[in-house]
Amino acid sequence: MGQTVFAGKKIVIGVCGSIAAFKVAGWVSELAKEEAMVSVVMTASATEFVTPLTFAALSGNNVHTGMFGTGKEDVMTHISIGRDADVILIAPATANVIARLANGMADDLLTTTILATRAQVLVCPAMNSRMYAHPATRRNLQTLKDLGYGIIDPESGMMACKEEGDGRLAEWDTVKEHLAKSITPQALQGHKVLVTAGPTREPLDPARFLSNRSSGKMGYALARSAFRRGAEVILVSGPTALPCPPGVTRVNVQTAEEMYEAVLTHAGACSVIVKAAAVADYRPEELHEHKVKKENIDVNLLLAKNPDILLELGKRKKTGQLLIGFAAESRNLAEEGLKKLRKKNLDLIAVNDIGGDNTGFEGESNQVLLVSSSGTEILPHTSKLHTADLLWERITSLLMQSPQKA
């Protein structure tokens, strides 16, 4: 459901001779599923690990392996492949190919294509940790960075050679986000944004807490989408099962009071704050150090009010800073949204209809009503990531109208 950023994008993948080449076959398959137009260029040694047929079948396109074809249509392959590309990804990038690129060499189809392209080139190194740590490789990677190549750092872990350390090919989720970023207009470049997500947990004792049904998916999608748009993203998150989106700095909190502290610590430096978290409005008045036995639990639980973080942010809002809220409502959506917009001094509020099918809590999709001082807009029922994309588009327009950067 929803749009994918990769649909119709021309992505060239350069595969080099490393055992990690088999992982990249899976990536090609993922990109083809998301309707990208994937062309694969393989170095001679890459074909020793995975056959060109595998990449041809997964991409649905011919795979390029050599400089010299048989017919005249192949003569300019090294120019034509890179000419139309939206982005070129080299994965796995071996120490050898990195060294050749750092020296501007063009001695096979892949290196020649890279030298001839104007597209953004992303490099995913993968090699033994000692090769990766070697000063020559470090220098070559630095040279590539200086030349404007994007380097997607390898991860640490057990490698095919049974050694542990840095050098394992980056995970697909990370690579996918960098690819998405490379083809997304960088409308939030230079902006620091703060997103809150998930529920808060208000403990009663070490075993029990009060909480709500928030999964964090909407807030995490907002953080992911902001990274793709070039923002520096801080995600203050209540407890969720979700992994931290790549490129995002996550601050984990449990309670509303912890979220209040974390948000106020970072808010001053941010030009946009989006409060997607479902903050518990109340906490048990008393926090028991030890588990309360059932015979001793008072059936009338006394509650204390939590701070309203968004209300406080509204009071402290700086000139040019944008404050975006969420509201969970089951009726009178526009009216309730407008009330909260005014009360909390917001620029925009996204109202979730929690009474709807597949909207709001837990699901993969959402439909929100946007309320601002200039009116309302109902967004389509779509994936949470697409909802996040649409929301950032609206926020970006507001940023362009705002008096000055916070």
253 is an interface residue for ligand CTP by CB under 6 A:
no
Of 115 and 328, the one with the shorter C-beta distance to ligand CTP is 328
- Whole-number Cα distances in Å, 316 to 196, 309, 322, 360, 406: 17, 11, 11, 28, 12
Tell how far CA 377 is from the center of its chain.
25
Of 74 and 281, the one with the shorter C-beta distance to ligand CTP is 281
Q: Cα–Cα distance between 230 and 182 in angstroms, integer?
A: 9
Binding residue (CB under 6 A) for ligand CTP from 64, 340, 384, 386: 340
Of 42 and 253, the one with the shorter C-beta distance to ligand CTP is 253
CB of 46 to ligand CTP, least distance (A): 49
328 is an interface residue for ligand CTP by CB under 6 A:
yes
Q: How many residues bind ligand CTP (CB under 6 A)?
A: 14
CB of 280 to ligand CTP, least distance (A): 7
Is 4 in a helix, a strand, or coil? coil
Candidates 18-26, 183-191, 273-281, 395-403; binding stretch for ligand CTP (CB under 6 A):
273-281
Of 88 and 263, the one with the shorter C-beta distance to ligand CTP is 263
Candidates 49-57, 222-230, 323-331, 397-405; binding stretch for ligand CTP (CB under 6 A):
323-331
- Whole-number Cα distances in Å, 215 to 218, 236, 281: 8, 14, 17
309 is an interface residue for ligand CTP by CB under 6 A:
yes
Binding residue (CB under 6 A) for ligand CTP from 327, 348, 368, 385: 327
308 is an interface residue for ligand CTP by CB under 6 A:
yes
Tell how far CA 307 is from the center of its chain.
29
Candidates 28-36, 115-123, 223-231, 308-316; binding stretch for ligand CTP (CB under 6 A):
308-316
Q: Cα–Cα distance between 24 and 41 in angstroms, integer?
A: 12
Task: Supply 293's token pair.
Answer: 């036995």
Binding residue (CB under 6 A) for ligand CTP from 32, 109, 114, 277: 277
306 is an interface residue for ligand CTP by CB under 6 A:
yes
Task: Supply 343's token pair.
Answer: 């009360």
10 is an interface residue for ligand CTP by CB under 6 A:
no
Which residues, at least 6 apart from 155, have a Cβ–Cβ distance to it below 8 Å?
166, 168, 169, 170, 171
CB of 346 to ligand CTP, least distance (A): 8
Q: Cα–Cα distance between 348 and 263 in angstroms, integer?
A: 18
325 is an interface residue for ligand CTP by CB under 6 A:
yes
Q: How many CB atoms lie within 10 A of CB 265?
A: 13
244 is catalytic: no
Sole residue written with tokens 């610590």: 265
Binding residue (CB under 6 A) for ligand CTP from 93, 124, 180, 256: 256
- Burial readout 211-234 (b: 16 or more C-beta within 10 A, e: otherwise): bbebbbbbbbbbbbbbbbbbbbbb
Binding residue (CB under 6 A) for ligand CTP from 152, 242, 310, 341: 310
Of 23 and 340, the one with the shorter C-beta distance to ligand CTP is 340
Tell me which of 16, 124, 161, 244 is the catalytic residue: 161
In single-letter form, the type of residue at position 299 comes to V
- Burial readout 27-50 (b: 16 or more C-beta within 10 A, e: otherwise): bbbebbebebbbbbbbbebbbebb
Binding residue (CB under 6 A) for ligand CTP from 55, 132, 326, 392: 326
Length of the chain: 406
Residues catalogued as catalytic: 161
Residues engaged in binding ligand CTP (CB under 6 A): 256, 275, 277, 279, 281, 306, 308-310, 325-328, 340
